[in-house]
């Protein structure tokens, strides 16, 4: 059974940075895509949108519009952890951030954001002065 555990969220001032981490359990091999979604406050699951993904298969990455350049996704090949470095944060970045994995896609693309197979429990990121 796949389990995803996020960490690294918290309260940060506008302009600050945070690094989120996702640790995956129960995944064998490298044929999957893993990434991040976020759900702004009060939006519910319907408001959850894709942020970024990365593929261990071909190391491709993808970012939602307007996030590339501020957000950087990476993966540690040694321990398999996936990181989301978030810089120059603003209030609109406030959300619960979820890690997700999809075993149908081996290359990172917008298709990853359609319907991942497994989700983590989420980590809260609050950007406020």
Report pLDDT digits (tens) over 110-125: 999 999 999 999 999 9
Average pLDDT over the chain reads 95
pLDDT of residue 29: 85
**What average pLDDT does range 58-75 have in this prediction?**
94
Task: Give the pLDDT score at 30.
Answer: 86
Over residues 41-70, mean pLDDT: 94
- Asked whether residue 23 carries a pLDDT value surpassing 90, the answer given is yes
Contacts 24+ apart (CB under 8 A), 52-58: 52/84, 53/108, 53/109, 53/112, 53/113, 54/82, 54/108, 55/105, 55/106, 55/107, 55/108, 56/30, 56/31, 56/32, 56/80, 57/30, 57/31, 57/32, 57/33, 57/106, 57/107, 58/106, 58/107
Residue 64 confidence (pLDDT) above 90: yes
């Amino acid at each position: 059974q796949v389990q995803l555990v996020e960490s690294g969220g918290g309260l940060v001032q506008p302009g600050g940075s945070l690094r989120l981490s996702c640790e995956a359990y129960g995944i064998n091999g490298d044929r999957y895509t893993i990434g991040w979604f976020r759900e702004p406050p009060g939006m519910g699951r319907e408001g959850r949108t894709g942020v970024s993904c990365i593929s261990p298969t071909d190391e491709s990455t993808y970012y939602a519009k307007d996030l590339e350049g501020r957000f950087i996704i990476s993966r540690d090949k040694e321990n398999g952890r996936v990181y989301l470095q978030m810089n120059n944060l603003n209030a609109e970045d406030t959300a619960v951030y979820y890690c997700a994995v999809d075993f149908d896609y081996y290359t990172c693309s917008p298709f990853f954001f359609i319907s991942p197979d497994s989700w983590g429990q989420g980590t809260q990121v609050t950007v406020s002065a």
